[in-house]
Every structure is written in structure tokens, then in C-alpha cells.
Amino acid sequence: MAERLLLVSADDAVAFAAGALVHRGVELLHERDGSTGLAAAQRFRPDVVVWDEDAVAVDPPLVARLHASGAAVLAIAPARDPGAGVRALRDGAEQVVAKPVDPEHLAAAVARAADAGRWRRVAERDGKGESHQPRTLAQVEREQIERALRHHRGNRTRAARELGISRATLINKIRVYALDL
């Protein structure tokens, strides 16, 4: 979860939904228009900026400027304009939430945006310039099977025992992943 949240919205319903995050230990700063919101992003140094595209006029390079402040950007798109969310993602927003905003849904989206922003900052700090891409369960499973088989020098019975699966299941997974060991 983000520790510092900047909300830029003139919509009282969105402000109410974001206000529920204060009870979760989030420090919240609320600005009602775009110019003061951008200035607040530089001053407040938030982990996540929640930007209401319906209530605040947005110029295209804005998301990039918010990223420059080190913040992850979560856009709130109006229900009547489905293209607004697509544009926000194209401009670099980590997450998009559609109106009407549910407080629990907003909290989950803020947490995901904070995580995405954290990974982006780590990648930038490491000089890689790429965002973290989590591995799928299939990739992890394949790696674990390969590791167990190498450790037991191809002995499928011992590898299956180490993995906590039956030998038949291991043989099936070797076939599914086309492992050549």
C-alpha cells in the first residue's frame, strides 16, 4: 500500500472513496485542480497520484511529468468516456479505475499502482530502465521441476518426492513443458 497519496479530483464522491484510505495509514493530500495538483506532486512527493480525468483537464504529457516526480499514476476514467482509460494507460498510467469509484476497489488499485511504481523506480535506479514483469505460475513450476531433476540427476522418483507430487504427475508435467533432461 502507498504511504503518501495525492488525489487530484473535484468530485466529492471520489474524495470520499479516497478518504477511506486514511484509516489504513495513508497520508492523503487532496487538490481540486490540475495546476495545483502538479505543483503538489513536486512538493508532496507522493507514492501514488490518483488523477480524476473527468474532473480535471488533462494535457497528454502530464502523466510523464507526474512520473518524473517519482509517483505512480492511477487514473479515474469517467463511465461515459471509455476511451479515457485507454488514453491514460497509453500515456503511462499504471492503473485505471472507472467511475463510480468503490472505496475497496480504489484501495486495491492504489496498492497495485504503488507496487508497479515501486518496481519501476527500482528498475530505473538499477539502470535497467525496464519495469518488473512477474513470472507466471507455469514458468515457476517449470523452473522448479528442472531444478529438482538436475539436483537428482534425472531420477524422476526422487525429484517427484522433493516436489511433493506423484511420479506420474511429474512425468506428465515433463511432457507438458517439453523438458529434455
Residue 144 within a domain: yes
DSSP class of 3 = S
Alpha carbons 122 and 128: distance in angstroms, whole number: 9
Question: Are both 109 and 153 inside the same structural domain?
Answer: no
Q: Are residues 148 and 75 in the same domain?
A: no
Say if residue 64 is in the same domain as residue 114.
Answer: yes
Tell me, what's the pLDDT at 165? Answer: 95
Instruction: Say yes or no: 102 and 155 in one domain.
Output: no
Residue 58 has a pLDDT of 52
Query: Which domain, by its residues, includes 53?
Result: 4-125
144 and 71 co-located in one domain:
no
| Residue among 39, 49, 111, 42 nearest 74 (CA) | 49
CA dist 110 → 42, 48, 115, 155 (Å): 19, 7, 9, 46
Residue 131 lies in a domain: no
Which residues of the chain, if any, have pLDDT below 50? Answer: none
Residue 18 lies in a domain: yes
CATH number, domain of 148, equals 1.10.10.60
Statement to judge: residues 76 and 164 lie in one domain: no
Measured distance CA(74)–CA(116) in Å, rounded: 10
Is residue 181 situated within a structural domain? no
Are 154 and 80 within one domain?
Answer: no
CATH of the domain at 75: 3.40.50.2300
pTM of this prediction? 0.61
Question: What was the pLDDT predicted at 121?
Answer: 65
| Judgement on whether residues 106 and 149 belong to the same structural domain of the protein | no
| pLDDT of amino acid 21 | 78
Does the residue 79 lie in any domain?
Answer: yes
Domain count of the fold of the chain: 2
**pLDDT tens, position by position, 81-98:** 777 778 777 777 787 888
